[in-house]
Amino acid sequence: MEVFPSSKDVQSKKKPQHIKKTGLVVVSSMKIIGLHCSSNELHAGQIAVIKHGARLKDCDLYFSRKPCSTCLKMIVNAGVNRISYWPSDPEMSLQEGNSSPTSIGDARLDAKAVERLKSNSRAHVCVLLQPLACYMVQFVEETSLKCDFIQKIARVEPDFARSTFYEYRQERVKEYEALFLVSSEDTHKEILRLIGLENLCEDPYFISLRQNMKELVLILATVASSVPSYSDFGFYLTNSGDENQQGLAQEVAQHCTIQARLLAYRTEDHKIGVGAVIWAKQKSSSFDCDGTETMYFVGCGYNAFPVGSEYADFPHMDDNQKDREIRKFRYIIHAEQNAITFRCQEIKPDEQTMIFVTKCPCDECVPLIKGSGIKQIYTGDVDSGKKKADISYMTFSELKGVGKYTWQNNPHRRSPNNASPSIAAENGDLKSNDEDDLGFTN
């Protein structure tokens, strides 16, 4: 959520500024009910109080940086159950390079206040950092290379190779290490001491901490690289006759798809993981306080067996098995189905609601998506029009009334010799042929 694109960054085509920006996930009864990031005026914890209020009682909050005293006193007062955070610089940055001497002094006082609030509250405040499962980095790397988005590029662009993917990943690694890690080990130790984590400053704990953080950053960079800004590829409208659909900027669409890709690794399916995230765009921006601006989180899901069942209760075989009775397809709940079932917001018919899915929706899910009132689908379409044993993807290509934005080479791009002087974009402004927003027409 720290890298959620803002409209200003998208319009200016500049890299977003991330100083003191914080991401936050709100979880209630094992269900995500909010994804937020700090804005120019409000911290992430303050936004959570505005958005959820007393509903924060017994919730678990996951911060990308340790919350400051201003946020902590309110969320503790709301009765939250657990507060977890990334063990780097806190929301009020303590890094010398980002702060004046006065602000550093205030940050030190704030860190002491946070410790006192933590020690006198019912909520459990702890570091959010677990070591990765064995071979997890290798597994994410292999599945990212096989995902729909990379496969589509590889099929259309013969020059695209594994080396190109690794180049993109290395760029993301550098970007995320600058954001999420403290480059100097001595500075990192000083920050840990100031925020009450002296026990992590001694070796071998500190070495393990840094290694775990670097591996998690590598995971994030690898998944982000699976939906790359490569050539003219992006999410473009495929429905004929629906050119009036207002799509999202490419940066936002890619970011939300990366969220779905990350979610796919929660799957219980041993062969393929699928993730789905639902966002909506509110009509009015007068009450906009979140770092996500007019967009708000509706729900998310991944493919899994029914809630309460044990892993061994159902068949796990795939379509390679001749005996259809021992195949998994009739038992697995699809990612789109879980996202719609466990959504935390109602889908409003007068608002633009979007679902981001890592694979083309199958015939089971397409009617469900349309019937729920979702206006747009962002997905890969590698399986579109195919039928694979017990699962069919025939309906997606015939779907009407829902905007389908599939990952493809820009169909509106013209060659320089035949280029029109301008293209009408979604907001009515005239922009150059280099514009890469969605929903525009020639």
- Positions marked active-site: 336
Q: Which two tokens stand for residue 398?
A: 């015939």
Buried b / exposed e over 173-192, threshold 16 CB at 10 Å, is: bebbbebbbbeeeeebbbbb
CA nearest 246: which of 291, 276, 283? 283
Regarding beta strands 403-409 and 233-237, do their DSSP bridges make them parallel or antiparallel, or are they unpaired? antiparallel
Q: What distance in Å separates the CA atoms of residue 272 and residue 144, rounded to the nearest whole number?
A: 12
CA distance linking residue 345 with residue 300, whole number of Å: 11
Distance from C-alpha of 45 to C-alpha of 196, rounded to nearest angstrom: 19
The strand pairing partners of 413, in sequence order, are none
Distance, in Å, from the CA atom of 391 to the CA atom of 360, rounded to the nearest integer, reads 12
Q: Are 123 and 81 in contact (CB under 8 A)?
A: yes
Is residue 354 within 8 A of residue 278, CB to CB? The reply is: yes
Q: Torsion over CA of 315, 259, 47 and 59, rounded to 10 degrees?
A: 20
Question: Per the structure block, which two tokens stand in for 98?
Answer: 């980002």
| CA pair distance 216, 195, nearest whole angstrom | 21
CA–CA gap between residue 400 and residue 383 (Å, rounded) = 18
H or E, element range at 223: helix 205-225
Q: Are 95 and 52 in contact (CB under 8 A)?
A: no
DSSP state of 264: G
